[in-house]
A and B are shown apart, each in its own frame.
Chain A
Amino acid sequence: MSDIHLKNLVKSYGENIAVAGIDLHIRQGEFFSLLGPSGCGKSTTLRMIAGFIRPTVGQILIGSDDVTRLPPEKRDIGIVFQNYAIFPHMNVADNIAFGLKLRKKSHEDIDRAVAFALRQVGLVGYENRYQRQLSGGEQQRVALARVLVTEPRILLLDEPLSALDKALREEMKYWIKDLQKSLGITTVYVTHDQDEALTMSDRVGVMQKARVEQVGTPQEIYERPKTLFVTTFIGQSNVIDVTVRGRQGERLSVDFGDSTVLTRAPVAEVSVGSAAKLVIRPENVIIGAAGAGLSATVVSETYQGALVRYRLSVAGQEIVAERQNQAHLARFSPGEVVGVSWDPDRSEALVA
């Protein structure tokens, strides 16, 4: 098991740049997700780590080995594809034994390893089935078993859940995560699904337009987004136009309509009077009686079971607020004038 270093990794197809210089350190044993919209370069990055794509520029290290020029079969990696790629002309046992046979293991060793792997993925009794006799979830497990028996240094997964239906996806999400934890194998997981990335990962790299925009724990990514893209791609955010008034240590005061509000200051320098975006998650917007905070008018109320969602008009801009549907919390009706506030530490100022 090993860590992975990506150093200034670039892949271009003529004019088209699929990956535009990625620097990442994926730590030993961690579950790292590359999250981003379709076409942002996630698969290209993963396939460069796997060795299927030769980088235009840059370097890839697995452990201390520079594998940049090595073919996939020499990299000691395991990869699970979106379509699972179960060999249709081999049964489950032969699929799982494939990598071990190439490693010239003895028959007894292979049989033992295959039996162990089948137990590990909960497919005992499936030895003689063929791909066409397996459901999507079962193929997924075979694909993982086939990879894990070879004890690769790193595990790569490219949207492994996207072909499954929702219920199975939920189940497999936790199952894969638990398996990964118990093995402690360094894992790179590619997905466009923020929910998967947030639930499964130790750290997430959010990608957009061939670049990694932010790397952090799921909590950091969600609560302290560094860019407007990250904040809008992951979860929902209110993005409000404000004007910078001044910095006060960790805080920034900004003008929002006629009022001045406080927010967490960005690391970057901001000049007084410049335009900025104030970013607040709907669940962090506090609605109170009129007079408490900014004056707002309720535009609509949407009942969502566990949550109640309000659209509010504040100084000509719309803010969405969500709150728990609990008996002791008052409800508001459209047209009502209320007060809106938030914890400054729960909001971000981003310079566009």
Chain B
Amino acid sequence: MAATTTTGTADEGTGMRRIGLFRTVSAGPAFWWLVLPAFLFFLVFFVVPTVSLFALAFNKSAAGVISLSSAVTFDNFLRIFTRSIYYESILRSIGIAGAVSFICLVFGYPLAYVIAKTTNPGRNTLLMILVLSSMQLDMVIRLYGLMVLLGDNGLINAMLLRFGIISAALPLMYNVFGVIVGLVQITLPFMILSLIGVIKSIHPSLEEAARSLGASRAKAFFSVVLPLSMPGVLAGTLLVFALAISSYVVPALMGGWKVMVMPIHIYQQVAETGRWQFGAAIAVVLFLTSLMAIAVYHRAAMRTTGGRS
């Protein structure tokens, strides 16, 4: 919890003094040598290529050309915001990522709560393995598994048809539903892991104090545990949102090229038509959209929790 409301004065009785907003960690020179390898890697293999790609977005679109030129144009961005096929995909991406974040929160919170509260070490390990095991398999393999379940001839449809509950296969895949199911499956562990730590850090006596003061189990949860776990809720939803909005593989496999989200457009522009510049422009918009959505959400969340995170 950041000491954002404390002033520079010493709190009487506590003997504590906080100066300004941040407490700085002084790191010796040796410390910088230790972070240098990671810093260089990050610079060479992330910052440089990403900036180069983003720079390409400001060049005129030309198939097969990937060299940077100094002639700056905003044509690519104009095209994105004037053609419905593109600007609608921005909204679709935000909508799907938002829905996935919400679903992960609703599904993940109870499980994270149970894992955090389980004192039995054996049961705790078992539950953690359950959560982490889904992350052991490659994403593509897991999605193929989902396709076996959700396809027109998949397990669910076959079962429903056999028992005569439906007369034609339900469209469970190659649509927004399939993409959302796939994304939830991929991102849920991240949500759960974000929540467990925070819920664990809430001392059980706080919940018990609420109970002893007259709060039912539910009331104690909503008035004490949930507000105190907001940092985890915030971290988890932001992480899931960022993973979901930038995912290419899931919409590609589960959407079958019918659910056009931004990463699909980027892939098509770059890999199929060779228009790197236009693909790069969509990537820039995706990046900024994601940042903006996160900023707006963060502000709203901070307001509802009284500026405490």
Binding site for B on A (CB under 8 A): 50-52, 71-73, 75, 77-79, 81-83, 85, 87-89, 98-99, 102-103, 130, 132-135, 137-138, 143, 146-147, 150
Q: Most chain-A CB neighbours within 10 Å: which of B1, B15, B209, B210?
A: B209
Binding site for A on B (CB under 8 A): 1, 3, 5-6, 11, 13-15, 203, 205-206, 208-217, 219, 223-224, 227-228, 305-306, 308
Q: Pick from B5, B203, B216, B305: contact of A130, CB below 8 A.
A: B5
Q: Are B228 and A73 in contact (CB under 8 A)?
A: no
Q: Are A52 and B14 in contact (CB under 8 A)?
A: no
Query: Which residue on chain B has the smallest CB distance to residue A74?
Result: B214
Q: How far is the CA of A146 from the CA of B208 in the complex (A)?
A: 13
Q: Are A102 and B215 in contact (CB under 8 A)?
A: yes
Q: Are A83 and B203 in contact (CB under 8 A)?
A: yes
Chain B nearest CB, measured from A49 CB (Å): 11
Q: Are B213 and A98 in contact (CB under 8 A)?
A: yes
Chain B nearest CB, measured from A327 CB (Å): 43
Chain B nearest CB, measured from A139 CB (Å): 10
Q: Are A133 and B208 in contact (CB under 8 A)?
A: no
Query: Which residue on chain A has the smallest CB distance to residue B228?
Result: A89
Q: Are B13 and A135 in contact (CB under 8 A)?
A: yes
**Besides A87-B210, A130-B5, A134-B13, 16 other CB < 8 A contacts?**
A71-B217, A73-B216, A79-B209, A85-B206, A85-B208, A89-B224, A89-B227, A89-B306, A98-B215, A98-B223, A102-B215, A132-B6, A134-B14, A135-B13, A143-B209, A146-B209
Q: Given A89-B308, A132-B1, A132-B3 in contact, is the A72-B208 Cβ separation under 8 Å?
A: yes
Q: Pick from B13, B15, B212: contact of A72, CB below 8 A.
A: B212
Query: Which residue on chain B has the smallest CB distance to residue A130?
Result: B5
Q: Are B14 and A146 in contact (CB under 8 A)?
A: no
Q: How far is the CA of A73 from the CA of B305 in the complex (A)?
A: 26
Contacts of A51 in B (CB 8 A): 211-212
Query: Which residue on chain A has the smallest CB distance to residue B230?
Result: A89
Q: Are B209 and A137 in contact (CB under 8 A)?
A: no
Q: Most chain-B CB neighbours within 10 Å: which of A81, A138, A150?
A: A81
Chain B nearest CB, measured from A158 CB (Å): 9
6 contacts between A and B (CB under 8 A): A52-B211, A87-B206, A89-B308, A98-B215, A103-B214, A146-B213
Contacts of B216 in A (CB 8 A): 71, 73
